[in-house]
C-alpha cells in the first residue's frame, strides 16, 4: 500500500462498525476519496473531531483498493462560523451534497475543490443564502452548462425581454417562446444571476434578502437538480 498526503474538504461521514467511520473527502489532488477513519468514534480519538463535514483538513492516507485509510489529520479550517449562524450549516451541507454528486472518485478536479473551499469560507464569513445559489450556478458553469442569459435559448432572439427560464434548454426565453413554458423570471432576478456569473459576486452577496434573492436561490437549486437528475436531500431544509 502506498502513502499519500493531500488536503481536502470533508463531504460526509457514515458509521462503520463500533468505533470507525467512512469519511468521504473532496481532495485537492486526488479527487473524491472514501477513507476509513479507525477509532474516531471513541472519546479518546485524536482526530475524530477534525473529520466533521465542512472541515478543511490536511490528511495522510494509505491508498487502498476501494477505501483508503486515514492515518493523520490536521485541521486547516474548521469553518466554525458555519455553526454560529442559523441556516448556514444547511446551506453548507447542500453545497457539500452537490459537490459529492458532481465529483468523480479519484479524479482530480482542482477547480471544483477551489470553488467549494472558497464558498465555505465565504459563507462562514458572510452568511448570505446567495452563497450557495452562486455556488450552484458556478458549479453548472464548471460542468460546461453555462446558462444562456443574453439570448433566447430556444430561438436565439437577442432583443429581449426574457421573462422565463427553461431548465431543459439551460437559458432564458423570449416573450413568445416563454409562453410555451419555462419558469417565470423577473427582470430583477435575471439581473442578479447576471451579476453572480459576470464577475460581480461580491457585490451580489451584499444584497439583502428579498423576493428576488429567494427567486435566484430557487432557480439555482432547480437548475442544479435538473443537471444532476436528482433532488438534494439537504435542499428540503433550505
Ligand atoms: Zn425565443
CA distance 218 to 80: 26
Q: Ligand 1 mean position to 167 CA, how many Å?
A: 14
Q: Ligand 1 mean position to 150 CA, how many Å?
A: 11
Q: Ligand 1 mean position to 192 CA, how many Å?
A: 21
237 pLDDT more than 80: no
Q: What residue has cell string 439555482?
A: 220
236 pLDDT more than 80: no
Q: Ligand 1 mean position to 185 CA, how many Å?
A: 14
Greatest extent of the chain over all pairs of C-alpha atoms, in Å: 65
> Between 199 and 116, whose confidence is greater?
116
Mean pLDDT to the nearest integer, 135-150: 94
Per-residue pLDDT, 87: 85
Per-residue pLDDT, 14: 95
Q: Ligand 1 mean position to 212 CA, how many Å?
A: 23
Q: Ligand 1 mean position to 224 CA, how many Å?
A: 23
Q: Are 64 and 4 in contact (CB under 8 A)?
A: no
Q: Ligand 1 mean position to 162 CA, how many Å?
A: 8
The CA–CA distances, whole Å, from 181 to 19, 160, 167, 221 equal: 52, 16, 10, 18
Per-residue pLDDT of 212-226, as tens digits, reads 999 999 999 999 999
Q: Which of 96, 51, 55 is nearest to 232 (CA)?
A: 96
Of the chain, the percentage scoring pLDDT greater than 70 comes to 100
Q: Ligand 1 mean position to 128 CA, how many Å?
A: 33
Q: Ligand 1 mean position to 160 CA, how many Å?
A: 9
Per-residue pLDDT, 235: 78
Q: What mean pLDDT, rounded, does the chain reach?
A: 93
Give the pairing of strands 183-184 and 20-27.
unpaired
Q: Ligand 1 mean position to 65 CA, how many Å?
A: 51
Per-residue pLDDT, 1: 62
Q: Ligand 1 mean position to 163 CA, how many Å?
A: 10
Per-residue pLDDT of 28-53, as tens digits, reads 999 999 999 998 888 777 777 899 99
Q: Ligand 1 mean position to 194 CA, how many Å?
A: 19
> Between 49 and 96, whose confidence is greater?
96
Per-residue pLDDT of 154-193, as tens digits, reads 999 999 999 999 999 999 999 999 998 899 999 999 999 9
Q: Ligand 1 mean position to 72 CA, how many Å?
A: 56
Q: Ligand 1 mean position to 151 CA, how many Å?
A: 8
Q: Ligand 1 mean position to 41 CA, how many Å?
A: 57
| Cβ count within 10 A of residue 120 | 26
Mean pLDDT to the nearest integer, 82-103: 92
Per-residue pLDDT, 132: 95
5 pLDDT more than 80: yes
Q: Are 134 and 204 in contact (CB under 8 A)?
A: yes
Q: Ligand 1 mean position to 214 CA, how many Å?
A: 25
Mean pLDDT to the nearest integer, 14-35: 95
Amino acid at each position: 500500500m502506498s502513502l499519500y498526503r493531500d488536503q481536502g474538504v470533508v463531504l460526509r461521514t457514515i458509521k462503520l462498525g463500533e468505533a470507525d467511520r467512512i469519511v468521504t473527502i473532496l481532495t485537492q489532488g486526488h479527487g473524491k476519496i472514501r477513507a476509513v477513519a479507525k477509532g474516531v468514534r471513541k472519546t479518546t480519538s485524536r482526530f475524530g473531531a477534525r473529520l466533521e463535514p465542512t472541515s478543511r483538513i490536511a490528511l495522510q492516507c494509505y491508498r487502498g483498493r476501494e477505501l483508503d485509510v486515514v492515518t493523520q489529520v490536521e485541521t486547516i479550517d474548521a469553518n466554525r462560523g458555519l455553526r454560529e449562524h442559523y441556516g448556514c450549516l444547511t446551506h453548507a451541507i447542500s453545497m457539500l451534497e452537490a459537490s459529492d454528486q458532481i465529483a468523480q472518485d479519484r479524479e482530480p478536479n482542482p477547480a471544483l475543490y477551489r470553488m467549494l473551499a472558497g464558498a465555505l469560507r465565504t459563507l462562514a464569513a458572510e452568511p448570505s443564502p446567495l452563497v450557495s445559489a452562486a455556488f450552484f450556478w458556478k458549479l453548472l458553469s464548471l460542468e460546461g452548462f453555462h446558462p444562456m442569459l443574453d439570448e433566447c435559448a430556444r430561438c436565439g432572439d437577442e432583443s429581449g425581454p426574457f421573462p422565463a427560464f427553461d431548465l431543459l434548454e439551460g437559458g432564458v426565453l423570449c416573450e413568445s417562446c416563454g409562453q410555451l413554458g419555462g419558469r417565470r423570471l423577473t427582470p430583477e432576478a435575471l439581473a442578479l444571476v447576471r451579476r453572480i456569473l459576470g464577475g460581480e459576486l461580491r457585490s451580489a452577496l451584499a444584497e439583502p434578502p428579498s423576493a428576488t434573492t429567494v427567486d435566484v436561490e430557487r432557480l439555482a437549486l432547480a437548475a442544479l437538480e435538473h443537471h444532476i437528475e436528482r433532488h438534494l436531500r439537504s435542499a428540503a431544509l433550505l
